[in-house]
Chain A
Amino acid sequence: MNKKAYTIILLVIGIIFLLVYIFSYPRTSSIDSLLYGFDNTNNNLNLVHVRQYAETGSFKIPLPYKDQLPRDIQLALTPRDDAQFDGFIVPKFSLGALLLWGTMATVNEESLFVITPLMTVLIVFALYLITRRVFDEKIALITSVIAFIFPTIWIWGSELLHNQFPATFFLLLGIFYFVRLSENKKGKYYFLSALFLASSITCRYEMVLLILPLLFYVIFKKMSIKESLIIIVTLAFSLLPILLLNKELYGDFLVTGYQAESYMVAESTHLPGISYFFTLKPEFISKYVFMYIFRFVPLLVLGAILSLFTIYKDKGKKKYITLYILYVVVVSSIYYGGDVTDGFYLYKVNSAFSYHLMNGYLLMIPLLVVTIFKVKELNKPLGISLFSIFFVITFITTFAGIYGIIDRNNTVEQHYAFSDEIIKKTEPNSVIIVRFSGKFLFPHRNTLYAPVLAPPDPSSIINVEEFRLPEIEPDFYLLGEKAAYIANQGIPVYVTELKNQDDLKNFEQALSKDGYGVQALRMKVDNIQQTKVYKLVKI
């Protein structure tokens, strides 16, 4: 086949998969109804802030009941994974992708429906370009087909607003133009690689770790003044908006949303706060690597490692890109592995930990294909069998794995049914005390985040330095006292996601001091304690 034929085949497959991704997620006719059907917090909060930007030109959302409630309760009026600063609810996540989606929503909000599936296809195109440049067309095409069906890509890429996807697209495109730059030092390659790599950092700040080797390469290579100027101006053009937005949203050029959330939680709970800075925890890293590399994609890892034996003799770009890919995998594992907690013992395909390693997974695919081609050269039936096994495992994991597409879509529909019912049965000005569902009830209702509203006594937490907010148990007696205070202001108050009857008893006991009790709402979806919804009523 000639070069053109490969291009046409990839274009056709890309268009098919764009449609497949779009229809893999339970999208409904309006983006409004999707707002409370999301199954992960990023989507919902991203959309809320994006809409705010499209309407007002700012991501800040005014805090409800700002002058009516005391500061400790105000601080809890922030949905999980958002932050609060200076009387506004502000985004916690990296701001580059929000800027992109916000600009898109200004022109046409419906375009947000397709942006992540489109990014997913573009990611595969960028991977094709790198692989073709480093290896050849055939390896690049097979790599692309595997990437299209890869579980992490398909499952996360069919969702709506996920900042990993623009970040990865920019990273891969940046790497591609970096490879071009290493071959031919033209000004346009300096500009394109700097622009895309910087854009990648704005979408996910930790990308800076993956870009470090490329940065060192540029620093230690001799550059003309013109080339240096191109890089500096491009970086300033791309990165300064984030610093300026930090100042506007969090009060300081160098404070990010992650730190703002940490300060907010620390002020409210008097606990030391969540550390978002890298801490080396070898025990967690080894478990993470075992769980999400060796167990999740064993053949991929094996293929990547074996490829070293076929490529080590190469003195050119193949060797360098292979070493860089291994660097990406190792650094991602150390960074994300060091940041995880015990929560990751539950192995599932749509876990955040699976997309954290997405760059590594994607870049390892060409190495696997190189290895299988080598095996095929030595023993054709064995090579074809390996391909088939990998293909089938990948496909089954995507669909029928724990929280694969089938499971994920059921969860989305359950969330939709749950939030739809709550919204129909509660007043628009009410506040709902929640533990996890703030992510899809906000902004339709004001949500109070229980662990921040009623934190446990710090002395009751065994390892106070390493606590994670969603994992801590609120003090239900304190929660009752605060709920009664809010109800006394004339605000309708509801509570949901109480874990068991003991929590409810403690909650009711505190309420009774102020003459309040609870009345369970009749819900269609209330077969388990966590989905029951109670309204505070005067006894």
Chain B
Amino acid sequence: MLFLPGFAWSFVFFKKDEIDWIERIALSFGLSIAIVPLVVFWLNYFLGVKVNFLNVSIIILALTVTAAVILKGKILK
């Protein structure tokens, strides 16, 4: 939860060699801890998705996969 989704999204914002590892690490943690709780909150608020282990895990996975799909799309372009 703390790293993986942000790590995937960091590649959406910056290509592999565009930033160094310190920035990649700080950005990955920053994006994860900023975005995951907010997405969990909004889904709970609008769609009534319960805050539990399974749902939060699915949200983390979905965020990571979404970033990967966007990245793949960018590469194919």
- Listed in ascending order, the chain A residues whose CB lies under 8 Å from chain B are 3-4, 7, 10-11, 53-54, 57, 99-100, 102-104, 106-107, 111, 115, 118, 122, 125-126, 128-129, 166, 169-170, 173, 188, 192, 195-196, 199, 237-238, 241, 244
- The reply to whether the CB of B66 lies closer than 8 angstroms to some CB of chain A is no
Q: How far is the CA of A241 from the CA of B46 in the complex (A)?
A: 11
Q: How far is the CA of A412 from the CA of B7 in the complex (A)?
A: 36
What number of B residues sit within 8 Å (CB to CB) of A? 32
Please indicate which of the listed interface residues B21, B26, B52 has the most CB atoms of chain A within 10 Å of its own CB.
Answer: B26
Please indicate which of the listed interface residues A3, A107, A128 has the most CB atoms of chain B within 10 Å of its own CB.
Answer: A107
Known A7-B20, A107-B1, A129-B23: A57·B13 in contact at CB below 8 Å: no
- The reply to whether the CB of B69 lies closer than 8 angstroms to some CB of chain A is no
Are A106's CB and B53's CB within 8 A?
yes
A100 interface neighbour in B21, B33, B56, Cβ under 8 Å: B33
Shortest C-beta distance, B52 to chain A (Å), equals: 6
Are B22's CB and A195's CB within 8 A?
no
Q: Hey, which chain B residues are within 8 Å of A241, CB to CB?
A: 38, 41-42, 45
Are A238's CB and B38's CB within 8 A?
yes
User: Chain A interface mostly helix, strand, loop or mixed?
Assistant: helix
Q: How far is the CA of A93 from the CA of B42 in the complex (A)?
A: 21
Are B22's CB and A7's CB within 8 A?
yes
Q: Hey, which chain B residues are within 8 Å of A118, CB to CB?
A: 2, 29
Q: How far is the CA of A502 from the CA of B75 in the complex (A)?
A: 78
B22 interface neighbour in A53, A57, A128, Cβ under 8 Å: A128
A4 interface neighbour in B20, B23, B34, B40, Cβ under 8 Å: B20
- The reply to whether the CB of B50 lies closer than 8 angstroms to some CB of chain A is yes
Shortest C-beta distance, B8 to chain A (Å), equals: 15
- Listed in ascending order, the chain B residues whose CB lies under 8 Å from chain A are 1-2, 13-14, 20-23, 25-27, 29-31, 33-38, 40-42, 44-45, 50-53, 56-57, 60
Q: Hey, which chain A residues are within 8 Å of B21, CB to CB?
A: 7, 11
Are B30's CB and A106's CB within 8 A?
no
Shortest C-beta distance, B42 to chain A (Å), equals: 7
Q: Hey, which chain A residues are within 8 Å of B36, CB to CB?
A: 103
Closest residue of chain A to B20 (Cβ to Cβ) is A7
Q: Hey, which chain A residues are within 8 Å of B25, CB to CB?
A: 11, 122, 125
Are B26's CB and A102's CB within 8 A?
no
Q: How far is the CA of A166 from the CA of B36 in the complex (A)?
A: 14
Q: Hey, which chain B residues are within 8 Å of A99, CB to CB?
A: 37-38, 41
**4 shortest A-B CB distances, which residue pairs?**
A57-B51, A103-B37, A99-B37, A199-B34
Q: How far is the CA of A90 from the CA of B35 in the complex (A)?
A: 24
Are B13's CB and A192's CB within 8 A?
yes
Are B26's CB and A173's CB within 8 A?
yes
B34 interface neighbour in A3, A11, A57, A238, Cβ under 8 Å: A238
Are B56's CB and A188's CB within 8 A?
no
Q: Hey, which chain A residues are within 8 Å of B44, CB to CB?
A: 57
Shortest C-beta distance, B54 to chain A (Å), equals: 10
Are B56's CB and A107's CB within 8 A?
yes
Q: How far is the CA of A83 from the CA of B64 in the complex (A)?
A: 37
Shortest C-beta distance, B63 to chain A (Å), equals: 12
Are A11's CB and B22's CB within 8 A?
yes
Q: How far is the CA of A467 from the CA of B20 in the complex (A)?
A: 51
Q: How far is the CA of A128 from the CA of B34 in the complex (A)?
A: 20
B56 interface neighbour in A103, A128, A237, Cβ under 8 Å: A103
A102 interface neighbour in B34, B37, B42, Cβ under 8 Å: B37
Shortest C-beta distance, B48 to chain A (Å), equals: 10
Shortest C-beta distance, B5 to chain A (Å), equals: 12
Contacts A/B (CB < 8 Å), 10 sampled: A4-B20, A11-B21, A103-B51, A104-B1, A106-B40, A107-B53, A169-B30, A173-B26, A192-B27, A195-B35
Q: Hey, which chain A residues are within 8 Å of B57, CB to CB?
A: 107
Closest residue of chain A to B52 (Cβ to Cβ) is A106
B45 interface neighbour in A128, A237, A244, Cβ under 8 Å: A244
Q: Hey, which chain A residues are within 8 Å of B22, CB to CB?
A: 7, 10-11, 125, 128-129
Q: Hey, which chain A residues are within 8 Å of B50, CB to CB?
A: 57
Q: How far is the CA of A217 from the CA of B31 in the complex (A)?
A: 24
Q: How far is the CA of A378 from the CA of B33 in the complex (A)?
A: 45
B13 interface neighbour in A7, A100, A102, A188, Cβ under 8 Å: A188
Closest residue of chain B to A189 (Cβ to Cβ) is B13
Q: Hey, which chain A residues are within 8 Å of B60, CB to CB?
A: 107
Q: How far is the CA of A469 from the CA of B75 in the complex (A)?
A: 60
Are B40's CB and A122's CB within 8 A?
no
Are B51's CB and A53's CB within 8 A?
yes
Are B41's CB and A122's CB within 8 A?
no
Q: How far is the CA of A241 from the CA of B45 in the complex (A)?
A: 9
Q: How far is the CA of A104 from the CA of B29 in the complex (A)?
A: 13
Q: Hey, which chain B residues are within 8 Å of A199, CB to CB?
A: 34
Closest residue of chain A to B23 (Cβ to Cβ) is A129
Q: Hey, which chain B residues are within 8 Å of A4, CB to CB?
A: 20
